[in-house]
Amino acid sequence: MYALPEDKISAFLRGYFTGDGSCSLQSTLEVNVTSVNKWLIDGVSFLLMFSGIKHSIYEEERAVKSDIILKFYGKPKSIHSYKIRIYGSEAEKFIEDIGFLGEKQKHAEESLKKWLAKKGKARTNFDKDVFIDKIVERKEIDSRDKYVYNLTVDTHHSLICSGITTFQCDGDEDCVMLLMDGLLNFSRSYLPTGAAVRWTRLSF
């Protein structure tokens, strides 16, 4: 999928959002899609980034109270899901460049016209090619992994991890820490007899 031409990726996104996604207009124009499958949402997120569509991913815990659920389980069922949300001008770009199929596209275009008339406020801060989402929570997570690995990616020295583009430092931090360790823990006992050390001030 990731190696397909851009028009094929757009066709896939168009079909997926037509089936599971929606478009709405409240305080701003929004296109979204929800799934309980985190792997699927991460994959769709990557394809959206490849297509130049900026977006956010939210985790939701909700109780489903539909007739089918109530009939099958006898009570509302709690579902943990993940939602991709595309706001404002990025939603406009999605509708124009990717879009939906059939009646859902007509509804999206009508919502877009209404939004353009009042130009709703974007919920994400943009600075040129960088977009910043508001942090809503911070928490420490115990790692299940014993080791941390350093990856080297040839040519571009960047990779996508959990939907975030990261860039390699090529060991700069390790070099600085090694230098500091040498300076702070240096011992005269390692010097040959009669040797002297000339100390100079370091500036960073």
Q: What is the CATH number of the domain that holds 17?
A: 3.10.28.10
Task: Quote the CA–CA distance of 28 and 61 in Å, as a whole number.
Answer: 23
pLDDT score at 101: 96
Domain membership flag for residue 132: no
Domain membership flag for residue 191: no
3-state secondary structure 110-139: HHHHHHHHHCCCCCCEEECCEEECCCCCCC
Per-residue buried b or exposed e for 78-100, using 16+ beta carbons within 10 Å of the residue's own CB: eeebbbbbbbbbbbbbbbeebbb
Please give the residue that has the higher pLDDT: either 187 or 19.
Answer: 19
pLDDT score at 65: 84
Token pair belonging to 83? 């939602």
Please give the residue that has the higher pLDDT: either 152 or 115.
Answer: 115
Same domain, 109 and 178: no
Q: Are strands 164-167 and 158-161 parallel, antiparallel or unpaired?
A: antiparallel
Q: What residue numbers bound the domain in which 165 lies? A: 158-185
Same domain, 14 and 114: yes
Domain membership flag for residue 14: yes
Q: How confident is the model at residue 177 (pLDDT cuts 50, 70, 90)?
A: confident
Please tell me which of 2-11, 134-143, 174-183 the model is most confident about, judged by mean pLDDT: 2-11
Same domain, 111 and 177: no
> 85-98 pLDDT, tens per residue?
999 989 999 999 99
Rounded mean pLDDT of 173-200?
65
Residue 78: pLDDT over 80: yes
Q: Of the residues 76, 108, 123, which one is the last residue of a structural domain?
A: 123
> 131-168 pLDDT, tens per residue?
666 778 888 888 777 777 767 777 767 777 766 667 66
Q: Comparing C-alpha atoms, which of 194, 176, 197, 195 is closest to residue 186?
A: 197
Same domain, 43 and 118: yes
Residue 171: pLDDT over 90: no
Same domain, 167 and 104: no
Please give the residue that has the higher pLDDT: either 181 or 131.
Answer: 181
Same domain, 13 and 109: yes
Same domain, 173 and 114: no
Rounded mean pLDDT of 108-120?
88
Residue 63: pLDDT over 90: no
Beta bridge partners of 165: 160
Please give the residue that has the higher pLDDT: either 78 or 134.
Answer: 78
Please give the residue that has the higher pLDDT: either 154 or 122.
Answer: 154
- The pLDDT > 70 percentage for the chain reads 75
Structural domains counted in the chain: 2
Is there a contact between 32 and 53 (Cβ–Cβ < 8 Å)?
Answer: no
